[in-house]
Amino acid sequence: MFPSMVVPAILQVRPELCLEKTEQREKVAASMPVEKSADRPGDRAFSDELALEKLYEQFRRPIHSYVYRLLGNVEDADDITQEVFIRACSAWDGLYERDHLSSWLYRIATNLCVDQLRRRKRISWWPLSRRSRQAENDDDVSDDASLLLADSGGIPEIAEREHIRLTLANMPEEYAAALVLHAAQGVPYQEIAAIMEISPNAAATRISRAKKMFMEQYKRLNKSNASVQERRK
């Protein structure tokens, strides 16, 4: 995986990305209520460097897990994840609404992944049964994950994994991303709506359609494969 100290290294090499504007921050902080939140990297009294380090440690694993599933290989996932936090670092100084940091980071990651997938003209799917690479908060995956996840104790057959990859390859990138966020990452509708900058109703509709697309394609591929195997007998 990418180096764990990538963000501190960025701060050292490119300190201009995250220079603190003391007077401006004091004015903003004075006008905003201080509120503890799981989505915040720490108290506003922390320095930018400490806040960014905490942000990185809190979100690097779920972001990497999400990107890995969409892009299908470790190298691309490492690169995109590092780019997510470089962009977060670059934008940090001007970011004053810090109560929804996970949505903000997922939005950056989603946009980068969609751009990458469109360049490829295909989706390469990572086997979702490998839960050892998931983040701590992936344990809250919803029941809908059964659409994509094999039993945590088993390894899916090669054919099954290929069917999943081919199924996702035929889905629009935004629908594949929404399905991963909801079924595999356990992200709720409201947050998916914020990530994709659509309404909650639109997010629910997109996920519903994505599930339908996935199941129809998956069943079609299974049927086709069964027919091929029957002819070979």
Q: Name the pTM for this structure.
A: 0.63
Question: Both tokens of residue 69?
Answer: 């599933």
Write the burial class of residue 93 (CB in 10 Å: 0-12 exposed, 13-18 middle, 19+ buried): middle
Rounded to an integer, what distance in angstroms lies between the CA atom of residue 66 and that of residue 78?
11
The pLDDT tens digits for 180-225 are 899 888 999 999 999 999 999 999 999 999 999 999 888 888 777 6
Question: Both tokens of residue 39?
Answer: 């989505």
Q: What is the Rg, in whole angstroms, of the alpha carbon atoms belonging to the chain? A: 20
Say whether pLDDT at 164 is over 50: yes
Mean pLDDT (whole number) for 36-48: 50
Q: Would you list the domain boundaries of the chain?
A: 6-19+36-232
Are 114 and 42 spatial neighbours (Cβ–Cβ below 8 Å)?
no
User: CA neighbours within 13 Å on the CB side: how many for 41?
Assistant: 26
The pLDDT tens digits for 99-153 are 678 888 999 999 999 998 888 765 444 444 443 334 333 443 333 334 454 334 3
- The predicted pLDDT at position 47 comes to 66
Rounded to an integer, what distance in angstroms lies between the CA atom of residue 106 and that of residue 111?
9
Are 103 and 195 spatial neighbours (Cβ–Cβ below 8 Å)?
yes
